[in-house]
Structure 1
Amino acid sequence: MVFINILDKWLPWLAAVIACGTVSCALAAAPLTVVTEEFAPYSYVERGEVSGYSTEVVRAALGRAGIDYEIQIYPWARALQMATARPNVLIYSIVRTPQRENQFHWIATIAPRNVYLYKLAARQDIQTHTLADLKPYRIAANRGDVVEEQLHQLGLTADLSAKDVFSLQKLVAGRVDLMVATELSINNLCLRANVSCALLERGMQMPEISGYYVAASLGTPAATVQRLRQAFTQLHNSDAMRHIADKYGIQPLK
C-alpha cells in the first residue's frame, strides 16, 4: 500500500520527464520566485499588488514565456541575497556590474539608468562638480545596492539604509549630506515620505554603470533561462514595451 502511494506521488513527475525527454526540462517548468525592491515608479505596491514599470515588463515577458511565478518586494539586500543563494529566483531592476557578472544569468535590460546626487537646496555649503568634490560628504545608499558598491570603489563615505525612503528622511534631517536617485524615483520618494521636492536640489550626475536588468539566479535551469531570454527578445521587438514605458514616463530603450 505504501509502495502504491509512493507511485501515485511520483508518477506525474516521471510522466513529465518522459514527455520532455530530460530531467532538466521538467525542472524548467518549476515556478519562479521573482524579487525586487520598493523603487517607484519601477516597482511598488499598489492596492496589495506589486506594480510599476519594471514589474509590468517582467509580467509581460513571463506571460510570453508561459512560466508560473510569484513576485515579492523586499529590502534590496534581502532580494539580492535570495537571488544569489537560491535556485529559480528572478530579480529586477538590477544593475549589471563587473563584480556581479558571474553571479547571475543576465536575461535582458529593461530600462536606462541615469542617477544624480541630491542635496537640500538650503545647503549652499555643499558644492559638487567633480567626484573629488564628494570626498568630505556623507552620501546615503541602500545596503547591497550598486550605489554602495560604487561609492566604496570611489573611496567615498556611504551611509547605509534598508530603503531609499529612509535615505531621504536622513537627508531632510541633516544626518547625511547627499543621496543618489533618478529624477523619477526622487519624485516618488518625496510623495511617500511626505516631503516637498522643492526642498531638494539636483546636483552632478553619477558615472554611468549600466541600465536596469532582469537576472536569474545561477541555480535556475538552462531551459528556463533560454525561455526567458526569448520572451524578453520578443517583448523588446514588439510595441508592448514602448506602451508600458509611455505609461510610466520612462525613457524607452534604444
Structure 2
Amino acid sequence: MKHLTLIAMLLCVLQGPQASAEPYKVFTEEWAPYNYQENDQLTGMTTEIVQAIMALTYDDFEMVMVPSMRASHLLQSRPRSIMYSMFRTPAREPLYKWVGPIVEESIHAWQLANVPSVNTLEQLQAAERITTRHAGLMPDLLEAMGFDNLDRSATENLQLYRMLLIGRTPVIVGDTDAGVAYYSRQLNIAPGKLRRIPVELYRASLYIAFSRDCEDEVVAAWAQALAHLRDSGELARIQRRYELPAP
C-alpha cells in the first residue's frame, strides 16, 4: 500500500505541471480596422487573419479583447499568451516570439480634396495646423521630426475627420489607409472627398507576439499557416476588404 501511495504521489508530481498548464489564449485591443468589436463580435482585418491561421492549424484558442495596457501586461505575465496586432520594435524584440508581418502599413497626412494641395514635407511643416490625437505614436513622432504646428486636441479618431469636414483644421494625421477607409465608412464620407498627402510619415509592420514560454512548435505552425495564406492570396483578399474605395 505504501509503495502504491509513493507511485501515485510521483505521478502527481510528473503530471502536475502539464495538468495545470494555462490554456493558450489570444488577446487584442480595440484598434479599428485591425481589431475591434462590432455587434458584440470581435472582428477586423487582423482578427480575420488570426482566425484564418487557427483554421489551418486546427487551434481553437479563446480570443479576448482587453484594454491596451492590460493586453501588454497579460502577454508579459500570463503563460501561453498571444497578442495581435503588435509593432515589433527593437525594445520588444527579445521579450516575445514573433510571427509576421501580418500587415504592413504606412501613415500619411490627409486633407480635403477641394482645397489647394499639400505635396511635400516642407509644405506640411508650414501648414497652418495639423490635427492629431492628443496622445500616441504619431503626435510624438511628428514632434520629434520638428513639427511645431500640431494641434493635439482630438481625443478620438472620429473627431479628426469631423474637424476636417467642418473646416476646423486643414490637415489631419492619425491613421493608416485602412483606418481612413474604416472611419470614412463610419461617417459616410464619399469616395474622393479626402486626399492623401503624398508624404509617407511612418511605415510599420504589425505582428503576432507570443509569450516566451509558448511552444516553438505552435509558433512555427502559425508562421507556416501565415505563409500559406500569403502564398494562396487569401491574405491579400482579406486586406482588400478593408481598403479605401476607389475615387
TM-score of the aligned structures, taking structure 1 as reference length:
0.69
Distance 1:206 1:99 in 2: 23
Change (3 A) 1:91 1:142: farther
Q: 1:116 to 1:228 in 2, by over 3 A?
A: farther
RMSD of aligned residue pairs (Cα, Å): 3.5
Query: How many angstroms apart in 2 are the aligned matches of 1:102 and 1:26?
Result: 28
Cα offset for 1:249?
1.1
1:127 corresponds in structure 2 to: 118
CA deviation map 1:108-144 (0-9, x unaligned): 31012133221122442x6240257325432324743
**Equivalent residue pairs, number:** 223
In the alignment, residue 190 of structure 2 is paired with which amino acid?
A: S
TM-aligned CA distance change 1:92 to 1:152, over 3 Å: farther
Matched, 1:211 2:202: no
Give 1:18's aligned residue. Answer: 14
1:191 corresponds to 2:191: no
**Stretch deviating more after TM superposition (201-210 or 184-193):** 201-210
Q: 5+ unaligned residues in a row in structure 2: which ranges?
A: 1-7, 243-247
| Residue in 1 that maps onto 2:70 | 82
Structure 2 CA distance for partners of 1:200 and 1:36, relative to 1, 3 Å: same
Identity %: 18
Match of 1:112, SS?
A: strand
Ranges in structure 1 where 5+ consecutive residues have no aligned partner:
1-10
Q: 1:170 to 1:98 in 2, by over 3 A?
A: farther
- Choose from 205, 224, 228 the match for 1:234: 224
Larger Rg: 2
Aligned to 2:87: 95
Q: What is aligned with 1:169?
A: 162
* Change in CA separation of 1:36 and 1:47 when aligned onto 2, cut-off 3 Å: same
The separation in 1 between residues aligned to 2:85 and 2:32, in whole angstroms, is 9
**1:55 corresponds to which of 47, 50, 53:** 47
Q: Bigger CA drift: 239-248 or 31-40? A: 239-248
1:94 Cα offset (Å) = 2.6
